Amino acid sequence: NFKLLLIDDAPHSEYSNAVHALVHSLHMTAHCQFLQQQTNEEMVKHYLQADIVIMIPKSDGTPVSAIEAMLAKKPVILGNLNYDSDLFNDNTIWKLTSFDSEELTDTIMRIIDDSGKNNRMQKIQTAYENALRSANMEESLSQITQLYTKMYYS
C-alpha cells in the first residue's frame, strides 16, 4: 500500500504532462497525488509523513530539499548526478547509477527490507548529522551574503 506525492513545480510543462500521462497509463492515479508549489511548512509536513524521499532531477546543484529530508531523518534516494560527496555519499544516501525504473524499484525494496534495518538506521543517522553540519554552514554563508549585500548597497 503506497501513496506517491509528486511535487510539480512546472505544471503543464512538457515534462509534467509526460509524467501525468505515464501515471494515467499505468493506472496509478489512485496512488499518486500531484502537488504544485509548496511552502516550506508544507514541505516539512510531507517529509515528516514520508517513508522515503526520492529525487531524480535531470540537473541540480546542491539539492536543498534532499538536505531537508535528511534533517527529517528520512531515507533519501538521489539520481545519478554528481553531488557534494562530503554530504551525499554511500554512507548518507541511496544513489542511483541510471534513470532505470528497475534500479529505482530495487533500491526502494532494499530500503524497506527489514533485514537491512540496522544499516538503514545508521545511514539515516549519518545523513542527519551531515545535514546538520551543512545546514549550519549554509546559514552562516547566508548571513555573510546578507552582510556583504548591505555593505555594498550602503
Q: What is the pLDDT of residue 60?
A: 67
Closest CA to 112 of 128, 94, 125, 90: 94
Q: What is the pLDDT of residue 52?
A: 93
User: Hey, what's the cell of 69?
Assistant: 529530508
Single-letter code of the amino acid located at 35: L
pLDDT band at residue 137 using 50, 70 and 90 as cut-offs: low
pLDDT band at residue 74 using 50, 70 and 90 as cut-offs: very high
Residue 125 has pLDDT above 90, yes or no: yes
Q: What is the mean pLDDT of residues 83-112?
A: 90
Q: What is the pLDDT of residue 40?
A: 84
Per cent of the chain over pLDDT 90 is 39
pLDDT band at residue 46 using 50, 70 and 90 as cut-offs: very high
Integer Cα distance of 81 and 65 in angstroms? 15
Handedness of CA 143, 145, 151, 154 (dihedral sign): negative
Chain length of the chain = 154
Give first-to-last CA distance, the chain, whole Å. 57
Q: Within 10 A of 75 (CB to CB), how many other CB atoms are there?
A: 24
Q: What is the pLDDT of residue 75?
A: 95
pLDDT band at residue 134 using 50, 70 and 90 as cut-offs: confident
Average predicted confidence (pLDDT) for the chain:
87
User: Hey, what's the cell of 98?
Assistant: 541510471
Q: What is the mean pLDDT of residues 10-39?
A: 88
pLDDT band at residue 73 using 50, 70 and 90 as cut-offs: very high
